[in-house]
Amino acid sequence: MSDLRIQAGEHSAPQTSPHGAKLLLLGVNHTTAPIAVRERLAIPGHRLADATRTLADQPGIREALILSTCNRVEILTVQDGVDQETAELRAGLQAPTLNVIKFLHDYLQIRETDLQPHVYEYRERDAIRHLFRVASSLDSMVVGEPQILGQVKQSWTVGREVGAVKTMLDPLLQRAFSVAKKVRTETQIGNTTVSVASVAAELARKIFGSLAGKTVLLVGAGKMSDLTARHLIHQGATTLLVCNRTEARAQAIADALRTPAITTGVIPLDQLHEQAHRADIVITSTGAGQIFTPESARAVLQRRKNRPVFFIDIAVPRDVAPEVNKVDGCFVYDIDDLQQVAIQNKAVRNREAEAAESIVTREVARYTDRISQAPVTESIKELLMGAEEVRHQEMARIIHQLSRDPLTPEQLAAVDRLTKSLTGKLLHPQIAALRDTASEPESDD
Amino acid sequence: MTLLWLRLAVILYGVAALAVLPAALYNRPRWRHIAIPAAFMGAFFHFVSIAETLYAAHRALPVDTHETLSMLGLLLVLGFLILAARYRTVSFGIFLLPIAVLLAIVPAFHPGHEQIAYPLVRTGWILLHIALLLAAYAAMFLSLIASLLYLIQERRLKEKRAESKRGWLPPLETLDQIGVNSLRFGLPCMTAGLLIGSVLALQSIGPAFFADPKVLLSIAMWIAYILMIYIRSNSGLRGRRAVYLSSFVFLVMVAVWAANSLSAVHRFKTP
């Protein structure tokens, strides 16, 4: 294997895994690797269980989880903490990293040189932070998108089923899910849409509520209008009408979008104004000038008994006169309006992402504190139990010695209190020292 | 004890009214978990208070002004809870809950002693008369609020603003449904309530009852109510015009409510 340098976390961090185990996260994502690399690393759903099991069976690996999505492939492992200074160890690489690289090499037949510039590595606290950020969708291509949490949960389920996610990764992942939920509920990171098509669909929902059963009229043909129509259909619209200068082209679009659940139809251009009232949402993209004026819009509304109409005007020059927006019941959004809303929504998302980062930072600190305190808590518990046992033995001995002239219940209670108090005071410095030791940061490795 | 339950209900309504602000205006779902249970518990204690009052007075209906206002407050809170369950929106609470607090706070801290000067109050029919009319008032009020919220949402969409604090508003079509369905619920309540009241008044007062100002206003209110439903259903009236129409009918209803001082039939007396 050739030399491999990996982008590491920004700073070394205290060990956060008990019993000398090491937490390590290796991965590539949309920012570090082109799709050509990501697709070679991607593990399809039906192979995920086998891959996770194989990874967990590697020497030195105690627990493992593989997250494979279209934008990232990440491997999270808990490994034995003893550094294996073996012949395999390369400059800059440690045994845990090599274990994962070896798995990738063996399982996916990927050479290290292909991975070299793209892989990032996080350890201990940095790995926890990265996992929390990924689950909270702060590391996603579209920040705040909701799918990633489901994908992490899917990997976690598979990991548990094959026995690769156990005592250390299980609580860590469950914590990641609750952090993600907290980010969603305490910030508005997922409440806004950021693409033109999704903004249009979101606006349509603001007008009509559910889009189920709604009719979309596509006037003209274009990539953006087609994409928007598809988005609206995906959101529940069930009827699509197409009107185009060339009827054959209109028919082709209608045929392309027809499914058993979607009814489509073609409207001849000369009947557009007579038929437009059938549509709840009108998408125009002809650029042929003002097809809809306030007068024609009022006529459409009248036929619809004033039920609202949403005009999405993607054409330049505009197909719908801006004054139509002033007609009660008509809502007109042109391409600039939609882009403007998308930009504003992006700004809202970025602002919320900052708040979400604070939540993640706080939760990482809370989680690592709890983990680092866990062995100390166990030691303190053992110390207290030992002291209590000695106290009980001594109490029993003194009661036995005084059996001829026994203590009154009040005296016995006073002695009991005295011994408890003495034990507590004598142990206090040791317990405090243990707690101090646990909260001091250790160097990684 | 009765007053204690009512005061507890007022406090819970107050908590719900405050919690609903961040829940709706700032889209903080956590506050929903305070607003809805607080309103529910408030409604429960309010119901207990009313039931105890009526049981202690050996009657089955509110007869003094404060009791009636208090019951209207309870109906508004129930309306809020139904909308929260049916349409997953707490936006109506911004208006309904503070009004419920105001309607219940007076009987909670200054209970009244007025009573209707007729022996009929102990009959079940008069209970129906009052309950149905109160339900119609509450439905009309809900419809008015739905129309106002429709107007706000419509303006927001026309002004093309990005998701802001006012992302809390339900979709236009939902608001329209709430408005129309409230009216459709209110109409049979009002019709039955007025019919029952008329029959009872005819029995106890005779035809002179129809010359009573409150009765005349009530008939006008009923006609306005029917006209409003007809116009909204047939022309699909929405937005500004719907608000104007709802406001007009609501004003007529307030006038009918306030006409007690002019009415010989509905005059209250202090025992």
Tens of pLDDT, residues A313-329: 988 888 999 999 999 89
User: Is B163 an interface residue toward A (CB < 8 Å)?
Assistant: yes
How many CB pairs below 8 A link A and B? 67
* Packing angle, helices A95-108 and A45-56, rounded to 10: 140
Beta-sheet strands, E only, within chain B: 115-116, 268-269
* pLDDT value at residue A64: 94
Span A227-247, pLDDT tens digits: 888 889 988 899 999 999 888
| B162 to chain A: closest CA residue | A341
Asked if A328 and B171 come within 8 Å (Cβ–Cβ), the reply is no
**Which regions in chain B score pLDDT beneath 50?**
165-166, 268-271
On whether any CB of chain B is under 8 Å from the CB of A339, the answer is no
Q: What is the mean pLDDT of residues A195-221?
A: 89
Q: Decide if A132 contacts A21 (C-beta within 8 A).
A: no
Return the exposure string of A266-299: e unless at least 16 CB atoms fall within 10 Å of the residue's CB, then b: bbebeebeebbbebbbbbbbbeeebbbebebbeb
Q: What are phi and psi of A189, to 5 degrees?
A: -60, -30
Q: In what order do the strands lie in the sheet with A215-219?
A: A263-266, A239-243, A215-219, A281-284, A309-313, A330-334
Q: How far is A240 from chain B (nearest CA, A)?
A: 20
Q: What are phi and psi of A242, to 5 degrees?
A: -120, 135
A194 touching B, CB under 8 A? no
pLDDT-derived band at A53 (thresholds 50, 70, 90) equals very high
pLDDT of residue B263: 62
Closest CA to B20 of B73, B101, B104, B94: B94
Q: How far apart are CA A370 and CA B146, in angstroms?
A: 50
Q: What percent of chain B has pLDDT over 70?
A: 82
Q: How do residues B251-267 score in pLDDT, each as one tens digit?
A: 888 888 777 666 656 65
CA distances to A219, A294, A311, B173, B264 from A329, rounded to whole Å, are 20, 11, 11, 11, 46
* pLDDT on residue B119: 54
Please tell me the number of Cα atoms within 13 Å of B11 on its side-chain side.
7
Q: Does A215 touch chain B (CB under 8 A)?
A: no
Measure the CA–CA gap between B36 and B93, rounded to whole angstroms.
9
Query: Around A443, how many Cα atoms within 13 Å sit in the side-chain half-sphere?
Result: 1
Which of A277, A306, A344 is the best mutation test for B, with the most CBs of B within 10 A?
A306
Determine how β-strand A22-29 pairs with β-strand A120-123.
antiparallel
Query: Is-contact A405 A398, C-beta < 8 A?
Result: no
Please report which helix (H) or strand (E) contains residue A67, including its range.
Answer: strand A61-68
Please indicate if any CB of chain A lies within 8 Å of the CB of B27.
Answer: yes
- Is B153 within 8 Å of A306 when comparing Cβ atoms? no
pLDDT computed for residue B183 by the predictor: 87
Is A243 one of the catalytic residues?
A: no
pLDDT tens for each residue of A338-371? 888 888 888 888 888 999 999 999 999 999 888 8
What tokens appear for A343 in the block?
Answer: 């930009």
Q: Identity (one letter) of the amino acid at A127?
A: A
Tally of CA atoms within 13 A in the half-sphere of B75 that contains its CB = 21
Exactly one of A45, A50, A59, A70 is catalytic; name it: A70
The fraction of chain B above a pLDDT of 90, given in percent, is 13
Which of B29, B30, B239 minimises the CB distance to A329? B239
User: With a threshold of 0.80, does the pTM exceed it?
Assistant: no
**What is the C-alpha end-to-end distance of chain B, expressed in Å?**
22
